[in-house]
Amino acid sequence: MATILGIDVGGSGIKAALVDTDTGELLSDRHRLETPEPSTPKNLATTVRQLVAEFDYAGDVGCCFPTVVIDGKAKTAGNIDETWRNTQVDAKFEDATGLPFVVLNDADAAGIAEMQLGAGVRLEGMVITITIGTGLGSGVFYNGRLIPNIELGRMPGKDGAPIEFYAGNRARKVNNLSWEEWGPRFNYFLERVARVFSPDHFILGGGVSKKFELYEDAIKVPTAIHVARFRNDAGIIGAAVAAVRRTQD
């Protein structure tokens, strides 16, 4: 068993826990700190250092981050401060904590957790994990292999704006939609994805996956649907799994 500290950096909060990377079990309480405002590299690195200090831990850290991440560098800004664009995230957090970091996109991390240890185990072909939260995150896998940084929630929607502005959970709340009213919007998103990727399976995760029975009848896309196992802990778990596997390569 490998025990790795996993960190999930979000636009509103930063969560962390120790993870058994063989099973996905959290081996500690999950700690959470508010994402600082503004969420600049300096402020966020300070918060990550404070969060790491809450654990008696020295070792590799897996961290998922809400941007496109290539070789540990943020290539977009997402739901955090614009100054993160083109910042080397792993080096920033390593300097702040003194620990080695493996950093990857947050939706990719959630997908890794499900594919390696959760609802995606033994699923073959094209599998797309969707994290339904404020927006819509996505992880794309072909025969178990991750195709990183594919942000399907950023596809143009009906009005040309990113489709997650129409079909994400923030849109449901802002427009005061019932689950029955919101369901067709999310189905529209899935239909767009299915038309382009022809997936064999969708895995639905994130906080909204807990409410699946409330909008299930609106989902008409002809693709097998699975509800994620790890839900809001998937980012923490997937980041930890990515860290231990990166260090073993």
pLDDT in tens, 107-118: 999 999 999 999
Cα gap 164→182, rounded to integer Å: 12
Distance CA 42, CA 27 (A): 29
**Longest alpha-carbon distance in the chain:** 50
Cross-strand bridge partners of residue 8: 15, 64
Residue 78 pLDDT grade (very low, low, confident, very high; cuts 50, 70, 90): confident
CATH 2.40.50.140 fits 124-227, yes or no: no
pLDDT score for 12:
85
Q: Which residues neighbour 139 within 8 Å (Cβ) at sequence distance 6 or greater?
A: 107, 108, 109, 110, 111, 112, 114, 115, 128, 129, 131, 146, 150
Place of tokens 């449901």: 172
Q: Check for a shared fold between 3-108+233-248 and 124-227.
A: yes
Q: For domain 3-108+233-248, which architecture applies?
A: 2-Layer Sandwich (3.30)
pTM: 0.94
Question: Alpha-carbon distance 245 to 153, whole Å?
Answer: 27
Tens digit of each residue's pLDDT (9 = 90 or more) over 145-173: 999 999 999 999 989 999 999 999 999 99
With 70 as the cut, is the pLDDT of residue 247 above it?
no
**Alpha helices of the chain — where are they, by DSSP H?**
41-52, 89-97, 106-117, 164-167, 169-174, 179-197, 212-215, 234-248
243 pLDDT more than 70: yes
- What is the per-residue pLDDT across 88-135, written as a single tens digit (0 to 9) for each? 999 999 999 999 999 999 999 999 999 999 999 999 999 999 999 888
Q: Where are the chain's structural domains?
A: 3-108+233-248, 124-227
Question: What's residue 129's pLDDT?
Answer: 98
Mean pLDDT, the chain, integer: 95
- Segment 212-227 mean pLDDT: 97
Among residues 208, 24, 202, the alpha carbon closest in space to that of 123 is found at 202
Q: Provide the pLDDT for residue 91.
A: 98
Reading phi first (left if > 0) and then psi (alpha if -120 to 50, else beta), residue 50 is in alpha
What would the DSSP string read from start to end of 156-218? B-TTSSBTHHHHSHHHHHHTT--HHHHHHHHHHHHHHHHHHH--SEEEEESGGGGGHHHHGGG
**Phi, psi (degrees; rounded to nearest 5) at 3:** -105, 120
pLDDT of residue 133: 86
Give the pair of three-digit tokens for residue 145.
Answer: 């292999």
Would strands 61-65 and 3-9 be described as parallel, antiparallel, or unpaired?
Answer: parallel
Predicted local distance difference test score (pLDDT) of residue 249: 56
Query: How confident is the model at residue 248, as a pLDDT?
Result: 61
Tokens of 93: 């957090």
Contacts 24+ apart (CB under 8 A), 86-91: 87/41, 89/63, 89/65, 90/63
Residue 65 reports pLDDT greater than 70:
yes
* pLDDT surpasses 70 at 54: yes
